[in-house]
Amino acid sequence: MSATRTSQQERVPADQRFREVLWENPEVCSNCFRRCKEVETLHPPEWGGGNYPTERHERTADGELGRDVETHDRHGALRTYPPRTTCGNCGSVRLLADHDSLSLEAAVGLVEPIADRLEEAGYEVDRQLMRKWVRVHKRTEAFTNYDREIFASAVQEFTDP
């Protein structure tokens, strides 16, 4: 069992659920909210000489290993970038969200994976009301570019512990 899921079993306050369960979760892609990694905490033996717990990250079917990239800087020195987990669903490198604003259809489409992740964490989700909330706020000119805030408020309003 992963350390993230263990900590999620302790109920997260409603105003922090989106951040804790989805946005800052290393197992979940912040762009499309698919689970791309499994994180397992490995504890050293009790008799170990002061070793600290470590985490092992395993990719799921939606996570792919990004290839090493080799480039040269302006002086000709070789730069190698380490492999990163890339989302197999949306192509996000390191599972980070894109900075562009989503379309109405794309935002409403993300309600399903958001609800799936919340249900995995043990929360009840009203998907229909969450979809309606996202649709209404994406159509409101004052909120249309604030995707993360729209999703966070929907999670806060339509999830029950």
pLDDT at 160: 86
Where are the domains positioned within the chain? 3-160
Q: Rounded CA gap, 104 and 142, in Å?
A: 14
Q: Rounded CA gap, 41 and 101, in Å?
A: 35
pLDDT 10s digit of each residue in the chain, 161 long?
A: 343 444 444 667 888 999 999 999 888 999 999 988 887 776 666 655 556 656 666 666 666 665 555 666 777 776 666 667 788 888 887 788 888 899 999 999 999 999 999 999 999 999 999 999 999 999 999 999 999 999 999 999 999 87
The beta strands (E) that lie in 60-117 are given as 63-65, 69-72, 78-81, 85-87
pLDDT at 42: 67
The structure tokens 């290393």 sit at: 26
pLDDT at 98: 82
pTM for the complete prediction? Answer: 0.72
pLDDT at 4: 42
pLDDT at 14: 82
